[in-house]
Amino acid sequence: MEDIWAITWDDLMPGIHVDSVIQSALEADVGSIYRDPWFTRLWIVQEVSLSKHPLILCSGQEVPWKELELATRVFGKCIQRKAPQPEGLRCIEHAWDIMIARSQYGLNTRSTTESKLIQMDQQWSLGNVAWHSRSKHCKDDRDRAYAMLSLISAGNSLKVYVPEPFTPNYKRSVEWAYGEFWLR
């Protein structure tokens, strides 16, 4: 995985003025993409984090996640350098959360020393995943249990915690789904 977080401002935007990027983004109403409820869904965090090469379908066009992530980084860097921050671009927050989750999962799939893996695995602990999932939306409450179990299992590179898998069953109650989640 390319380390997209290591890119510097000069690598990202050589010779580009922050105000022109922000003005262009506001005129193109880029914020309308980031305000889409899609970015607030827990299953999106799960799908984007665990996919090797996610593609986004937007207005009939396929966009590699990598491109959306790079654009989000550009807007984020511009917003950080602007005071006051432009209201129309503050909505990148949910996309930024997904980028961080994907990056953390990517770090756990790299080979590295065991001590670093233990520290990185903490990002995928039950408490941490539950905390970061609290503001994400699910159409069905059972989806939260299924998504959290999937993220915890996939992000645990040391395999210290390997829960018994179970198949999501939407014929069973929410209580059953959470009961099965906690059993594991």
Domain boundaries, the chain: 4-183
3-state secondary structure of 62: strand
Q: Is 14 left (phi over 0), alpha (psi -120 to 50) or beta?
A: beta
pTM equals 0.69
Q: Is 111 left (phi over 0), alpha (psi -120 to 50) or beta?
A: beta
pLDDT at residue number 142: 92
pLDDT at residue number 73: 83
Report the alpha-carbon distance of residue 140 to residue 134 in Å, rounded: 14
82 pLDDT band (50/70/90 cuts)? Answer: confident
Residue 111 has pLDDT above 60, yes or no: no
Residue 166 has pLDDT above 80, yes or no: no
Which of the 8 DSSP states describes residue 1? -
Report the alpha-carbon distance of residue 139 to residue 119 in Å, rounded: 33
| Residues constituting the chain | 184
